[in-house]
Structure 1
Amino acid sequence: MRILIVDDEPLELEQLRYLIREKYPLCEIKEAEDAAVAKRLLADYSFQLALIDIHLPGEDGLNLCAYIKENYKTECMMITAYQEFDYARRSIKLQVMDYLTKPVIAKELYQALDHYISHFGGNHLSPEINQVMEHIHQHYACKLNLQELGSFIHVSPSYLSRKFTEETGKNFQEYVVEFRIEKAKELIKQNPFLSMGIIAERTGFSSQNHFSTSFKKYTGVSPSVYKEKEKNV
């Protein structure tokens, strides 16, 4: 499932991205800080769901939602820090999936996303790939390869590789690295005094250099720069 988050507040974007990936690691997330950027992303990608802040610079979120409803088969959830009746009334008129208030509470967000998935789908994984995903999530700190996982679910490595890519939209190695990076980001936030070598080891990277290279490729910054940014949040 591909989700578009539209919010001009970096901390809100970070929180929503973290919460969604924590429970729905397969979701692909794109972000926009205003309606103009969102419209460009909508033209380039197919989104199943959009989470939109009502108060955006320029065109507001409700007008963006109306545009999406008119032009795309994308469901919308509205997010706002203001509990004003007019916003709720306009949201209902637009037939949005849900209406969340800031600060977004994890339980409420998950209820809204579960409601969407139960009505429209979003996790169409086969039993074999579900098993593989569970194994990755539980053993990401260990060595993982297609041959061992193929034996685990009684299929060939080539079949598993093809099936994994078809169902998740990512190749096996790419998904494992991205999941490990997300876990590394959690460790950096929760344990700022851990060395990068220990974080690399705890998240399954073969070396600190491999960890640093992968982290920068995935996030755009080195682990140490990310750590400094988190200190200043």
Structure 2
Amino acid sequence: MLRHKKSLLLDCHSDSQIADSKNLLDEKSTYIQEIAYYVQEHFNHKIQLEDIAQELNISKSYLVHLFKEFTGYTIMEYLMQYRLTQFLNLLKMYPNATIKQLCSECGFESEAHFSSFFKKHIGSSPSEYRKTLL
């Protein structure tokens, strides 16, 4: 009988640990969603990790670790990819806008840096890519 009570106690303890783990996972998932939302809302401005951490009321190191753990990307990699996606969308919507205008609209501070990033990820320069859309 004593063995049975001990087993029940362990079972209850395990259920409690599972619930705690699920709550922690839910909390982490919520943070990831909030980080992504912050990036999507502020992508066209200068974003610093400290700003996001302060907005979510968590430490910068926890923010960085958590996002990388769940997504496999750094927050800055995610930000740059999101900006690139927005640039591509704007380029299709406003084919007559200058590359400089569009990259500025998407938060890229340097046209030269943007062009290098674009070529690395798309395989051509922004101007060459624009020609394929026409």
Question: Which of the five TM-score ranges fits, normalised by the shorter chain?
Answer: 0.7 to 0.9
Q: Does 1:144 align with 2:47?
A: yes
The equivalent residue for 2:70 is 167
Larger helix percent? 2
Among 12, 15, 33, the residue aligned to 1:130: 33
Q: What is the SS of the residue equivalent to 2:45?
A: coil
Alignment of 1:1-233 (within 5 A): 126-231=29-134
- Separation (CA, whole Å) in 2 of partners of 1:228 and 1:192: 10
Bigger RCO of structures 1 and 2 (CA < 8 A, at least 6 apart): 2
Deviation at 1:138, TM superposition (A): 1.5
- Separation (CA, whole Å) in 1 of partners of 2:88 and 2:98: 13
User: Once the two structures are superposed, what CA deviation does each residue of 1:55-102 show, in whole Å capped at 9, x if it has no partner?
Assistant: xxxxxxxxxxxxxxxxxxxxxxxxxxxxxxxxxxxxxxxxxxxxxxxx
Structure 2, unaligned runs of 5 or more: 1-25
- Separation (CA, whole Å) in 2 of partners of 1:164 and 1:212: 27
- Separation (CA, whole Å) in 2 of partners of 1:171 and 1:155: 16
Counterpart residue type for residue 31 of structure 2: E
The equivalent residue for 1:107 is none
Structure 1, unaligned runs of 5 or more: 1-123
Deviation at 1:139, TM superposition (A): 1.4
Instruction: Give the RMSD, CA atoms, in angstroms.
Output: 1.3
Larger strand percent? 1
Counterpart residue type for residue 217 of structure 1: K
User: Once the two structures are superposed, what CA deviation does each residue of 1:136-182 show, in whole Å capped at 9, x if it has no partner?
Assistant: 11111011121110011011111111101111111111111011001
Q: So what's the TM-score if we normalise by structure 2?
A: 0.77
Q: So what's the TM-score if we normalise by structure 1?
A: 0.45
> What is the count of residue pairs matched by the alignment?
108
Structure 1 residue ranges (4+ consecutive) displaced by more than 4 angstroms after TM superposition: none
